[in-house]
Structure 1
Amino acid sequence: MGDMQISIIGVPLDLGQNRRGVDMGPSAIRYAGVVGRLEAIGYRVLDEGDIRVDAAENRDHDDSKLKNLNEVIKANKALAQKVSEVVKDGRFPLVLGGDHSIAIGTLAGLADHYSNLGAIWYDAHADLNTAETSPSGNIHGMPLAVSIGMGDDRLVHLHSAKVKLKPENIVIIGARSVDPGERQLIREKGIKVFTMHEIDRYGMTAVMEEAIAYLQLRSVDGVHLSLDLDGLDPLYTPGVGTPVPGGISYRESHLAMEMLEDSGLITSAEFVEVNPILDEKNKTADVAVGLMGSLFGEKLI
């Protein structure tokens, strides 16, 4: 990543899921000192502010099974345009969520500039549901499916008609809550997944080495990191909407970020699902900022 300027883009969207409060995630992460942390490493940081998101009370209504579809589309269209502009200007897009539905817009914007984009999905969930397979209708459980061309056309074709991500260019790390429809799609599409079983059995070092080598063999021309804070165990990140016990540890996560920084593969990133209402003294936002420090090359010595 070198001395590239970082552009921070906040997306205060909490309409992709049921629990309110994650719209305050970007503010919590800023309060936790993200700008100062990255500047101390040596980066030039430009805070681009927040994408406008309509208040829930003003939301449109449609007949879709997908909750708050129109508002999620509006926010993600604006985000896709902003991410595309940032990349065009030669800056590193660092997107702060907001719920994980914002990855639809992030990946759509990135797809303007990469022909063989890879993605590391650091998450307790696979986020590969569609309207047909989703138990809840919450769009934050669908961004990866949308990005490989599966699901509602209005989401799949958001920003551009092209498929944003090839299934074989995805690596999911930390999965431990996968719905039946997602499990079937993973098998059909051959998506690379490291569940907590692999992390427990082989260790984070081996998992990250294999993940990095896998993407390098795919000859990707960029790699996006999409990190959901619920990928970590709730012991470390209590302020998330869908906590799943038995997750990745704090130290394992720092190691993963350090290895990604060493690889030089990461060209964009987003950190999502920080919910201050559910948090303990901004603990989850503090962890997010700490992980960003490791991802961008912060050293102990």
Structure 2
Amino acid sequence: MSIKVIPTLGVSTCIGGPSKTCANGPGVLKSSEYALLLMNLELEWESLLEVSSNNDTLNMFYKQSCVISQFTQQQFEEKKPFLVLGGDHSIAVGTWSGILNQLPPESTFALIWIDAHMDAHTLNTSPSNNLHGMPVSILLGEADHKLQACSPTTRFIDGRDTYFFGIRSYEAEELVLLSKKNVNVFDIDRIESGGGTQKVLKKLIGSISRCYDYFAISLDLDAIDPQDAPGVETRAELGIRANDILAVFNQLSFDKNFIGLEIAEFDPQHDIKQKTEKLIYQIISSIYK
């Protein structure tokens, strides 16, 4: 059987997070013993991305986003499914801007955003001023001018083509913004009333893969219950169980029009017995099988 090679970019920064230790995540993953779980699959790692630290956070954020977007744009142009590993979730601005830059004008693209949080604050609404809580407002074109200027594209994702899954912790201002943009939100209550994670997520991904020319997944590991994924930047209790999400990913085929996966917020300092580290490789294996 031939080996499937996945171009992989590790973003060893935590520009947008509070603790900064999630910057260590990609290095841990690159040398992980659990890479052996990838049967018939090889991660082709780029050099780990690091951004020189200075006092101008937005400038660092812009530089980071530009490098990531160049990577994803190139992979999409060459029709290679890619993997981006963070780092905090501010990396999403670069990851999906690269796709927007290369997306054919008449094509359709859906982004499945699996997360405990909405990440839809702006500089004006954020209670923490942490950039990892703001990428969605930028991707939707709704951020304040200084924040929007950090995006390496002038194209935006349509809210109607954006699907949030696993939401359970957010502020009112974020919900207002997502409602304004008609974003599809599957919060924990909606998931449970719809029959649970496996049923709802399988139906959602199946529908999206049939209806769109291209789709991708941005996974913040805090969407998953801390019992299964303790090694994250910002824990949120009562999340999606790891076995449920793996069951769905293992059942579905991601070959046809799936273009890439982003995994954010792995913080090895908070991990317990390498649970989260191992889970990341199980997720990668289940999607790129």
Q: TM-score, normalised by structure 1?
A: 0.86
Residue 124 (structure 2) pairs with residue 132 (structure 1) = yes
SS of 2:253 mapped into structure 1: helix
Q: Quick one: distance in 1 between partners of 2:256 and 2:244?
A: 19
> Contact between 2:164 and 2:184, CA under 8 Å: does it hold in 1?
yes
Q: Match for residue 166 of structure 2?
A: 174
CA-based RMSD: 2.1
**Contact map agreement 2:232 2:267 (CA 8 A) in 1:** yes
2:278 aligned with 1:283, yes or no? no
Structure-2 separation of matches of 1:260 and 1:178: 30
Structure 1: distance between partners of 2:215 and 2:161: 9
Query: After the TM superposition, which residues 27-42 of structure 1 pair with which residues of structure 2 at under 5 Å, given as runs?
Result: 27-33=27-33, 35-38=35-38, 40=39, 42=40
4+ residue runs over 6 A deviation: none
* Residue 103 of structure 1, CA deviation: 0.4
Q: Return 5+ residue gaps in structure 2 as ranges.
A: none
Question: Counterpart of 1:166 in structure 2: which amino acid?
Answer: D
CA separation in 1, counterparts of 2:6 and 2:47?
13
1:64 paired residue number: none
8 Å contact 2:224–2:241 — kept in the other structure?
yes
Q: Equivalent pairs: percent with the same residue? A: 28
What is residue 20 of structure 2 aligned with on the other side? 20
Given the superposition, is the C-alpha separation of residues 246 and 44 from structure 1 closer, same or farther in structure 2, using an over 3 Å criterion?
A: closer
Given candidates 179, 182, 187, the residue that maps to 1:187 is: 179
SS across alignment from 1:9: strand
Asked if 2 retains the 8 angstrom alpha-carbon contact of 1:108 and 1:159, the reply is yes
One of 100, 106, 110 as aligned partner of 1:111? 100
After TM superposition, the structure 1 = structure 2 runs for residues 212-251 of structure 1, keeping only pairs within 5 Å, are 212-216=205-209, 219-251=211-243
Please say which of residues 199-208 and 131-140 is displaced more in the overlay. Answer: 199-208
How far apart in 1 are the matches of 2:92 and 2:252?
19
Structure 1, unaligned stretches of length 5 or more?
62-67
What is the identity, as a one-letter code, of the residue corresponding to 2:20?
R
Cα distance in structure 2, aligned partners of 1:260 and 1:188:
32
Cα displacement (A) at 1:283: 1.9
Among 152, 157, 168, the alignment partner of 1:159 is: 152
Specify whether residues 145 and 260 from structure 1 end up closer, same or farther in structure 2 by C-alpha distance, changes over 3 A only. Answer: farther
Task: Report the Cα distance in structure 1 between the residues aligned to 2:239 and 2:80, rounded to whole angstroms.
Answer: 32
Shift of 1:267: 1.1
Contact 2:81–2:258 at 8 Å: present in 1 too? no
Sort the Cα spacing of 1:262 and 1:74 in 2 relative to 1 into closer, same or farther, 3 A: closer
Contact 2:221 2:232 survives alignment (8 Å): yes
User: Which segment is superposed worse, 264-273 or 135-144?
Assistant: 264-273
* Residue 49 of structure 2 corresponds to residue 51 of structure 1: yes
Q: SS where residue 240 of structure 1 aligns?
A: coil
Is residue 96–residue 270 contact of structure 1 (8 Å, CA) maintained in 2?
A: yes
Q: 1:212 offset after TM fit, Å?
A: 2.4
TM-score when normalising by structure 2: 0.90
